[in-house]
Structure 1
Amino acid sequence: MYHKEKSIQIKNSASALYNNLGVLRIAPRRLTYFTVVHANVVNMISASWDGLNYSHRQLQSKEPNVATSTSLIMQAAFCALPSRDLLVVTSQKGIQMYESDGSIMVYWHALDTPETPTEQAVFARGISAVWENYICVGVSSGAILVFDVPSKGSNITLSEVLEEHKESITDMASECSGSQECIANLVTADDEGNLCVWKSGEEFQLLNKIPGFDMSCSSVKLWKGTVVAGYGTGQIRLYEAVTGILHAEVNAHARWIYSLDIAPFSGLLLSAAEDSLVRVWHLTMTPETNSVEVAHLHNECVTDTQICGAKFCDGDGYAFAVTGYDLTDPLGPVGWEMEPLLTSCGYSIGLGSGTL
C-alpha cells in the first residue's frame, strides 16, 4: 500500500519526545515544511514536492536577557488558522510563535518560574490551533493557555487560562474533519490519561471529562466528534467526545505510543510507537448507530528505531513522514552511526488501469 521514498537528511537526530514531528503543506508554492526537535534546537526543512530542492533552518530556544539559551525544547508544531499559519515552539522557559517559515518570531510568552526550586519541572507541551483565531498551549501545571491571534501582526494576547487538568499536559488536538457542526472542537490530555473535551468561544466551555487509567495519554486527536487517544500501554481508544462512551479499544502496539495523526478527508489514522512500527488504520462512521469502526490497513517497520514522530503529509493520507530517536546503523554494536534521517512514504492505489 505504501512504498518508501527517498529520505531527507536533517542536521541533528530527533529527541525522544512525544509527537516530535511537525508538517505543513504549502500548496501554492508546492512546498512542505518539516520540523524536528533536538535538545534546544528546532531543525526545520523546506522540501519541494519534486524532491529536488531542500533548504534548512535552525531555530534556537529563546530566553529573556540571555544570548544563548540551554532550555530544552519540548515540542514544535504548525498551527494553521484560516487567516495565517504559525509555527509554535514550547520549551522549559516559554512559548515562541514564528511565521510559518521560521523567519520571524512574532510572539514570546514566558512561563511562570517558582521562586523556590520544586521537584516538578516547569515546561510547556501540547499545541493546537482552535477554530478561527485561537492557539492553545498546555503547561506542566496542567493549565491550558488560550491565545487570541489576530489575522496579521504580533498583537497576540493571552485571553484565558483553563485549569481543569491537575497533571502535566501531554498533547491536545482540535476538530480536524473540517465540520463546523461538531459541538466539541478541542480535546486535551494529561500524564494520568485524563481527557478533557472543550467547546471554544469567547470563553471555552468544558463539555466532558473522560477519566484516565493511571497511564499517560501521549497523543490525542479529534475527528468527527470522536476522540482518538494513544496510551503508554500501546492501546488506542476511541471515545464519543460529548458523552465519553467508549466506541473501540485496539491493542495497536507492543510498546508506548508516541504519535497519532489523522487524515481528515479519508479517515486514515496513523499510529507510531517505541516498538519500531508505524501502522495505518481506517476509521468509518456509522450514522445509524452513531459508532466508529476501525480497520487495520498497513504496517511499516523502521528497524531498530524508537519512533518518536509520525505525520501525514496531506489531508488524504497519500503520504506520511516518520522520525526516530538517535537513528543508528543496524550494526549498532560496532559503533557506526547513521546520518539522522526523516523518512517519508507514499502509496498508490490501483483504480482499474490507472493509479491515484
Structure 2
Amino acid sequence: MGFRAPPAPRERPTRSRSALRGAGLIGAAAVLIAVAAASIAVGARPLGLGEVWHGLIDPASAHYAVVHEMRLPRTLLGLLAGAALGLAGGVMQALTRNPLADPGLLGINAGASAAVVTSTLFLGIGGLTGQIWFAMLGAAAVSVLVYAVGGGRGATPARLALAGAALNAALFSYVNAVMLLDAAALEKMRFWTVGSLAGADHTTVVRALPFVAAGLLIALATARPLNAMALGDDSARALGAHPALVRAAAIVAITLLCGAATAACGPFVFVGLIVPHLVRGLTGPDLRWLLPYCALLAPVLLLGSDVLGRVLGRPGELQVGVMTAVLGGPVFLWLVVRRKGIRT
C-alpha cells in the first residue's frame, strides 16, 4: 500500500475558511433580497408578500402602478447607492490605510454636493445627466485635496480624518449658505441635501447605473493589487503591482461611485465606514472577499434605514440620510474610542 502524505497544516483551515466566506456571501445575498422585499412592501399602504409579487409581475394587479412607479425605483436606487458607498468606503480604507476613511467623513460627498448645488443654482443645469458630471468633478477635486492636505503619502489616519472634517465643514457651510440665501433653492433641494430616496424614479436609476457599474468593476479589479500594496510599495512591485496606477484606478473608482450616488440621492454618511468594519471581522483584510461583502451588505444598511424611517415616521417618513446619521454616529464614536492608539 502506498503512503499518502497528510495535507499541509494550513491547507484544510484555508479551504474551510474559504467555504465559510462563500456561504456567508450567499447568506448576505439572501438578507439583501429580504430587505429589498421589505422596502417594496413597507409604505403608506403596506403590502403583503403576495401583493408585492403580483404587483411585480401582473400588470392587471391593483398594486402594479404603486410597485413599479414608486417603490421599485426607490428600492433599486437604494441598492445602487448602498453598493456604491460600501465599495467606495472599502477601497478608501485600503488605499489610505485609514480605518476611519468614509466618503462622508472625508468630505468626498460634500465636494460632490457643493458641485451639484453650484451647477444647479448658478449654471441652471438640471437633471441627473448634467449634475452627475459636476458631482464627479467635485468628488475628484476633494479626494485629491484631502490626500494632499492630509500629508500625501506620509498621511496618517488622524491627519486624513482632520483634513476631511475641515473640508467637509467648509463645503457644507457653503451649501447651506447658498440655500438659505435662496428660498426657492431651499425648497427644491432641502430633502436632497439630507440624503433621500423618496424622489427616485426609473430615469434616475437608469442614468446612475452605468457610472456605478463602471466604478464597481474598477473597484473589484483593484482588490488584488491593493492587497499587495498593504505590504508596502516595494513589496507590491515585487509581486507585479504598479502602485501609481493602482492608486489612480482606486481614485477613479471612488469618484465614480461617490459622484453617482451623491448626484442621484444626496450625501449619506457612515454607510461606507460601518459596513467595511463589520465585514472585516468576517473576511479579514482580504479585499477579494471584503469588497463583494460590502457591495451586498451596504445596501442592506441603506435600505434597512429607509424602511425604518418609513415605519418610525408614519404617516410621513424620516429621510434615510437622517437615519444613517443616527445609527452611524454611535458606531463611529465607538470605533474612535476603540482605536485610542491612533497616532497623529
TM band (smaller chain): under 0.3
Higher relative CO (CA 8 A, sep ≥ 6), structure 1 or 2? 2
Question: Is the strand fraction higher in 1 or 2?
Answer: 1
Question: Is the helix fraction higher in 1 or 2?
Answer: 2
Larger-Rg structure: 2
Question: What is the TM-score when the length of structure 1 is the normalising length?
Answer: 0.23
Question: What is the TM-score when the length of structure 2 is the normalising length?
Answer: 0.24
